[in-house]
């Protein structure tokens, strides 16, 4: 990356963010607005959230001299979409207390809550933390929730393969402690000393998606992922994975260089 | 600060001055402090009336927030240059104000296929539809856009052209900016500043002449007949409150920040009609009430209090109808329903014992400097229950139904104590609920006059999302540096019923530092609980931070009060 001139605004924000901390702590103490500071918009995604506002209310609120009604969408990190009954019940209560009360289950096997006010983000994440759930890297330019054939109890193999989803998710987490410091009040690390050999300070240019399929089923739509792993099973033994790369559904409107494409299988790796 | 003898001397001297003269004197001493020595009678007038700053309005219409960001930056920059800046989002801009503007800067983006952003649609349509000439307006437009769209910066172009068509004068050419707008935008603003500085001279001369021409105003309680131009409920849907922001224009208005207006509410027509029907009295018959002869319906509507009668009045009523009535306060309508009068003649006797409608006082929430020719009030609709029946406070209910264009009569009730200090002094304002009213006036006045003192506001209400009164105005004042600090307590958002005095305690150290540095404290709003809690908290902070005994803390606060540095407007 020698030519920094060409980089977008977001890239500069990431690099300057001290490990995704930015001014999020300060944003939380800005009482006068329900929004976070401008540069933090990009950073809060890495913590699993998007800032939104109710467009239908904009005009009415402006006439009342009220700012836009800002709130946050929170997405959890649930590798392979597996959560325990206790975690589901906790999610249910947390959704009722701090969000619109609606739990949305996404195509990437995770859960989204909407309408969380800025002041309620910390209590929400702290409650989730008690249930051993987090939203680290659920949005943002990093590896997203790892999708995986969804029923680990279907067979011994399923459980074994699901463990890969969990392992990959953990392995590809950003190394920064920012999430714990900002939302869970963990002590701040002096001079932000974490080193992240994988993501470094600029993270990825865009989001990155990984999916694992166990034939003959393909519920994760494996070839639409940046990285698709297709389990190869012989005599009820996991032999390894066929690896497919370069899949994706996104296209930027009006930019012909971006288009949806299926992943290409490039080879096999054993376990 | 002064010796006692000198204070006495000064007080004696000041007694002889009228209010206007004191205001003048205030400016005079400020001038003396600035180091200007040789005053002669000839230049005194100029010293007082010469505006040190020039007023501009910056309005933005934003789609993604870029024009807002720029507008805020430019506003702050202009203020640093000693200008008085009104910063407005176009969707909050009162279109009829356009004819009153002098220097008007528009920052506007273009949406998708050459359309105005939703937030600027009303403004865009207005300038294209109006036929009112705005030949006094001097303007410049900054257009934000994206060259990858064919109709690049179309909205800005349209507005720039249309303002010219309406007779306005362009002070700097239209500047179009692409997605990397920073450099071009700054270039434009530098150009604008230059244009403003070169025209400023002329404007100031004009304003001096205008000020000198103002005739000396008369004192005394004058009744104004104003016209309501805005009446909006500030609370968002879902709120438990209904707080009305009412703007009234009137001629020759004379008030200062901190003053109140008095309004005599009308009784509801339906109630008056029911009383007339029940008593059988002739609505159009002229009778005399407090030395004024008027038709009964007029008296019952505009003059006589029929609401929550005094115990003493109930006693007199019982004597007239010669019945035993429990002496509890109630409305006239309920009274005549339960204990009817014999006939119309007896009711006329009753009318004679009733009291006139007392005026209700509302602290003014506008500033003479920022909202010239207007007076604003902030009125919460008083809702309460009597015997499970929902009732409304008479005047707040009456005011909530005023529509645009309706006329309203009122008088100005000065409040001599609740006044802004000299412009360089710091102020701390504590005003939860409608207690915010005088502080909107204070901060708007200080913004419009370029006062340099720091301003710290404590505000509280029920919910942040629905009840933050004047939120966008405070944000503008905060972002442009006029409002130094704002501390908020939204009780409904917290399990432990957070109130303003809790917020004061949380910032005890800084609060005490401000006080030690000479800050003036103002409290406005509810009396019974709020002002008591605030005062006790102040005493606690003074004792703890100043390491004083309870008695000394009291003495400290008393001395602030004596210096006029602790003022309350509570009700």
Per-residue pLDDT of chain B (571 residues; tens, 9 = 90+): 566 666 677 776 676 666 656 655 665 555 444 444 344 444 444 333 333 457 899 999 887 778 888 898 898 888 877 888 888 888 888 888 888 888 999 999 887 667 888 888 888 888 888 888 888 889 999 998 877 676 788 899 999 999 998 999 999 999 998 877 888 898 899 888 888 877 655 444 434 333 333 333 444 578 999 999 999 999 999 999 999 999 999 999 999 999 999 999 999 999 999 999 999 999 999 999 988 899 999 999 999 999 889 999 999 999 999 999 999 999 999 999 999 999 999 999 999 999 999 889 999 999 999 999 999 999 999 988 877 888 888 899 999 999 999 999 999 999 988 999 999 999 999 999 999 999 999 999 999 999 999 999 999 999 999 999 999 999 999 999 999 999 999 999 988 899 999 999 999 999 999 999 999 999 999 999 999 999 999 999 999 999 999 999 999 999 999 999 999 999 9
Q: Does A59 touch chain B (CB under 8 A)?
A: yes
For an interface test with A, the pick among B237, B463, B468, B481 (most A C-beta atoms closer than 10 Å) comes out as B468
For residue A271, give the nearest of A166, A160, A169 by alpha carbon. A160
User: Which residue of chain A comes nearest to B90, CA vs CA?
Assistant: A62
Q: Is the distance from CB of B116 to CB of B110 less than 8 angstroms?
A: yes
Answer whether B237 sits within 8 Å of A60, measured CB to CB. yes
Answer whether B234 sits within 8 Å of A63, measured CB to CB. no
- What pLDDT score was predicted for residue B23? 58
Taking contacts as CB-CB distances below 8 angstroms, the residues of chain B near A38 are 65, 69
Q: Does A66 touch chain B (CB under 8 A)?
A: yes
Q: Does A69 touch chain B (CB under 8 A)?
A: yes
Summarised one tens digit per residue, pLDDT across range A92-112 is 999 999 999 999 999 999 999
Distance separating alpha carbons of residues A58 and B164, to the nearest angstrom: 30
Q: Does A253 touch chain B (CB under 8 A)?
A: no
Both tokens of residue A211? Answer: 């999916």
Q: Does A187 touch chain B (CB under 8 A)?
A: no
User: Which residue of chain A comes nearest to B471, CA vs CA?
Assistant: A66
Neighbours of B193 (CB within 10 A): 17
User: Which residue of chain B comes nearest to A57, CA vs CA?
Assistant: B236
Q: Does A117 touch chain B (CB under 8 A)?
A: yes
Answer whether B464 sits within 8 Å of A254, measured CB to CB. no
The C-alpha of A150 sits at a distance from chain B's nearest C-alpha, in angstroms, of: 39
Q: Is the distance from CB of B344 to CB of B287 less than 8 angstroms?
A: no
User: Which residue of chain A comes nearest to B467, CA vs CA?
Assistant: A66
Taking contacts as CB-CB distances below 8 angstroms, the residues of chain A near B486 are 31-32
The partner residue sitting opposite B234, judged by closest CB among A58, A65, A117, is: A65
The partner residue sitting opposite A67, judged by closest CB among B118, B235, B472, is: B472
User: Which residue of chain A comes nearest to B479, CA vs CA?
Assistant: A32
Is B302 in a helix, a strand, or coil? helix
Residues of chain A with pLDDT under 50: 1-4
- What pLDDT score was predicted for residue B190? 87
Strand partners, A51: A72
Q: Is the distance from CB of B555 to CB of B511 less than 8 angstroms?
A: no
B168-173's contacts with Cβ under 8 Å and 24+ in sequence apart are B168/B104, B168/B134, B168/B135, B168/B137, B168/B138, B168/B139, B169/B135, B169/B137, B169/B138, B169/B139, B170/B138, B170/B139, B170/B140, B171/B103, B171/B138, B171/B139, B171/B140, B171/B195, B171/B196, B171/B199, B172/B140, B173/B140
Asked, as a colleague might, if the bond just before A216 is cis with ω within 30 of 0, I would say: yes
In total, the C-beta contacts within 8 angstroms joining chain A to chain B are 63
User: Which residue of chain B comes nearest to A63, CA vs CA?
Assistant: B92
ipTM here: 0.87
Answer whether A38 sits within 8 Å of B233, measured CB to CB. no
Taking contacts as CB-CB distances below 8 angstroms, the residues of chain B near A65 are 92, 232, 234, 245, 469-473
Q: Is the distance from CB of B205 to CB of B8 less than 8 angstroms?
A: no
Distance separating alpha carbons of residues B214 and B19, to the nearest angstrom: 16
For residue B58, give the nearest of B139, B112, B164 by alpha carbon. B139
Answer whether A32 sits within 8 Å of B472, measured CB to CB. no
């Amino acid at each position: 990356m020698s030519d920094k001139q060409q980089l977008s605004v977001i890239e500069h924000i990431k690099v300057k963010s001290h490990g995704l901390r930015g001014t999020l702590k300060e944003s939380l103490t800005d009482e006068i607005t329900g929004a976070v500071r401008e540069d933090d918009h990009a950073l809060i995604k890495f913590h699993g959230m998007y800032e939104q506002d109710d467009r239908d209310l904009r005009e009415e609120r402006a006439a009342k001299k009220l700012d836009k009604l800002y709130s946050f969408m929170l997405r959890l990190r649930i590798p392979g979409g597996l959560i325990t009954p206790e975690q589901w019940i906790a999610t249910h209560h947390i959704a009722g207390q701090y969000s619109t009360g609606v739990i949305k289950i996404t195509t990437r096997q995770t859960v989204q809550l909407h309408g969380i006010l800025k002041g309620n983000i910390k209590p929400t994440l702290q409650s989730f933390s008690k249930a051993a759930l987090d939203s680290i890297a659920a949005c943002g330019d990093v590896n997203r929730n790892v999708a995986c054939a969804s029923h680990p109890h279907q067979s011994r193999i399923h459980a074994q393969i699901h463990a890969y989803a969990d392992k990959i998710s953990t392995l590809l987490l950003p190394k920064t402690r920012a999430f714990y410091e900002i939302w869970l009040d963990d002590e701040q690390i002096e001079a932000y000393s974490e080193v992240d050999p994988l993501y470094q300070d600029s993270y990825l240019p865009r989001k990155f998606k990984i999916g694992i399929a166990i034939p003959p089923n393909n519920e994760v739509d494996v070839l639409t992922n940046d990285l698709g792993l297709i389990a190869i099973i012989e005599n009820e033994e996991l032999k390894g994975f066929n690896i497919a790369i370069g899949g994706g559904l996104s296209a930027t409107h009006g930019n012909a260089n971006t288009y949806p494409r299926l992943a290409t299988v490039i080879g096999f790796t054993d376990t | 600060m002064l010796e006692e003898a000198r204070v006495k001397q000064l007080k004696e001297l000041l007694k002889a001055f009228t209010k206007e003269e004191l205001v003048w004197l205030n400016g005079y001493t400020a001038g003396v402090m600035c180091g200007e020595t040789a005053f002669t009678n000839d230049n005194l007038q100029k010293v007082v009336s010469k505006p040190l700053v020039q007023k501009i309005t910056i309005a933005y219409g934003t789609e993604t927030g870029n024009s807002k960001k720029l507008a805020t930056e430019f506003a702050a920059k202009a203020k640093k240059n000693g200008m008085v800046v009104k910063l407005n989002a176009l969707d909050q801009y009162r279109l009829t104000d356009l004819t009153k503007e002098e220097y008007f800067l528009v920052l506007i983006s273009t949406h998708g296929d050459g359309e105005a952003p939703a937030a600027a649609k009303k403004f865009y349509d207005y300038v294209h539809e109006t036929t009112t000439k705005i030949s006094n307006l001097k303007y410049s437009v900054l257009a934000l856009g994206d060259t990858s769209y064919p109709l690049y910066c179309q909205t800005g172009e349209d507005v720039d052209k249309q303002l010219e068509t309406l007779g306005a004068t362009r002070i700097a050419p239209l500047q179009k900016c692409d997605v990397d707008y920073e450099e071009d935008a700054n270039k434009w603003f530098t150009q604008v500043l230059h244009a403003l500085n070169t025209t400023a001279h002329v404007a100031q001369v004009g304003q001096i002449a205008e000020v000198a021409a103002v005739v000396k105003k008369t004192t005394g309680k004058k009744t104004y007949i104003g016209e309501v131009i805005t009446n909006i409920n500030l609370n968002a849907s879902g709120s438990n409150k209904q707080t009305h922001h009412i703007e009234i224009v009137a001629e020759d208005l004379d008030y200062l920040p901190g003053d109140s207006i008095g309004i005599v509410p009308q009784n509801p027509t339906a109630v008056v009609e029911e009383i007339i029907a029940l008593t059988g009295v002739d609505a159009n018959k002229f009778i005399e009430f407090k030395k004024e002869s008027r038709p009964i319906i007029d008296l019952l509507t505009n003059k006589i209090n029929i609401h929550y009668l005094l115990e003493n009045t109930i006693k007199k009523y019982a004597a007239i109808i010669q019945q035993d009535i429990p002496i509890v306060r109630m409305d006239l309508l309920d009274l005549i329903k339960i204990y009817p009068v014999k006939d119309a003649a007896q009711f006329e006797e009753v009318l004679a014992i009733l009291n006139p409608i007392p005026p209700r006082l509302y602290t003014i929430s506008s500033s003479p400097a920022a909202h010239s020719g207007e007076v604003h009030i902030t009125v919460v609709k008083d809702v309460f229950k009597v015997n499970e029946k929902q009732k409304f406070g008479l005047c707040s209910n009456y005011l909530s139904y005023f529509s645009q264009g309706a006329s309203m009569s009122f008088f100005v009730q000065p409040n001599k104590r609740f006044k802004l200090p000299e412009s360089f002094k710091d102020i701390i304002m504590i005003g939860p609920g409608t207690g915010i009213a005088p502080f909107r006036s204070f901060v708007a006045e200080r913004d419009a006059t370029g006062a340099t003192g720091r301003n710290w506001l404590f505000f509280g209400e029920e919910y942040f999302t629905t009840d933050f009164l004047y939120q966008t105005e405070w944000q503008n004042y905060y972002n442009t540096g006029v409002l130094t600090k704002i501390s908020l307590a939204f009780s409904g958002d917290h399990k432990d019923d957070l109130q303003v005095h809790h917020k004061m305690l949380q910032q005890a150290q800084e609060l005490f530092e401000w006080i030690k540095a000479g800050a003036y404290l103002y409290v406005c709003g509810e009396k019974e609980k709020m002002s008591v809690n605030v005062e006790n908290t102040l005493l606690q902070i003074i004792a703890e931070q100043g390491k004083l005994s309870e008695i000394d803390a009291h003495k400290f606060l008393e001395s602030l009060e004596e210096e006029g540095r602790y003022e309350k407007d509570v009700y």
